[in-house]
């Protein structure tokens, strides 16, 4: 089979690796197979703790990266109630907020507040650029960052399972929506605090993670 030099690669990203790390490893493999440097890019990052579908663009398809990045996405996530994290995920410093146990009705009411077109403030630990620099780099340097709110669309947000303190949800969202921010906002609405402990991207438009390859298929160890 001829080495890939143009097109799309679907990857099931493992936990603990950055999206840029995935791109670098795939670029290395494809370039080695082709015997020349192959251009590879991503179409939207996943947090290091997250897993799931990444669409990588290769060669000439890199020109279409922006088109892919604007597509709707579906995630499955687990939120931990009762605490907040400085990063909105397991990698941050945790603070106890409130030990109250919300009812299922309370959960459903809170979730309903965050469906449709909503205003959302992205996490400071994100890949968004502020004055040309990644927000997470500024945050790590201890700089004060005011992340501007943005309008995003949550097409659907459903409770998959609720066993306190864990709330599992499935979210179909527009591009630019941060599930970590949804966790924080739902935690505020409940009065308990919350952060995202698990996050998996299931699909991007018509592409599903079930079609994706893991890194082992490319001879790459996690």
C-beta atoms surrounding 87 within 10 Å: 21
Name the 3-class secondary structure at 29: helix
- How far is the C-alpha of 204 from the C-alpha of 3, rounded, in Å? 25
Q: Are 186 and 110 in contact (CB under 8 A)?
A: yes
SS3 label, residue 87: coil
**Contact predicate 74/199, CB 8 Å:** no
CA dist., res. 128 & res. 25, Å (int):
23
Q: How far apart are CA 39 and CA 48, in angstroms?
A: 22
Q: Please name every residue paired with 157 in a beta bridge, in sequence order, or none if there are none.
A: 171
The question of whether 47 is a catalytic residue gets the answer yes
Peptide bond into 170 cis (omega under 30): no
Question: Of residues 6, 12, 47, 185, which has the active-site annotation?
Answer: 47
Cβ(172)–Cβ(155) below 8 Å: yes
Residues designated as active site = 47
């Amino acid at each position: 089979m001829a080495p890939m030099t143009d097109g799309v690669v679907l990857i099931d990203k493992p936990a603990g690796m950055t999206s840029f790390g995935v791109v670098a490893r795939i670029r290395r493999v494809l370039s080695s197979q082709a015997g020349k440097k192959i251009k590879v890019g991503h179409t939207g990052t996943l947090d290091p703790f997250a897993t799931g579908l990444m669409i990588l663009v290769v060669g000439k398809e890199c020109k279409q990266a922006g088109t892919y990045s604007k597509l709707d996405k579906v995630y499955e996530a687990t939120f931990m109630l009762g605490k907040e994290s400085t990063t909105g995920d397991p990698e941050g410093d945790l603070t106890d907020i409130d030990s109250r146990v919300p009812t299922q009705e309370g959960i459903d009411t809170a979730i309903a507040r965050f469906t449709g077109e909503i205003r959302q403030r992205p996490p400071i630990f994100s890949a968004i650029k502020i004055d040309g620099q990644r927000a997470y780099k500024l945050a790590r340097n201890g700089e004060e960052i005011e992340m501007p709110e943005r309008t995003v669309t949550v097409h659907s947000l459903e409770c998959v399972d609720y066993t306190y303190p864990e709330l599992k949800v499935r979210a179909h969202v527009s591009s630019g929506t941060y599930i970590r921010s949804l966790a924080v906002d739902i935690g505020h609405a409940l009065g308990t605090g919350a952060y995202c402990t698990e996050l998996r991207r299931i699909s991007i438009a018509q592409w599903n993670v079930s079609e994706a390859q893991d890194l082992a298929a490319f001879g790459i160890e996690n």
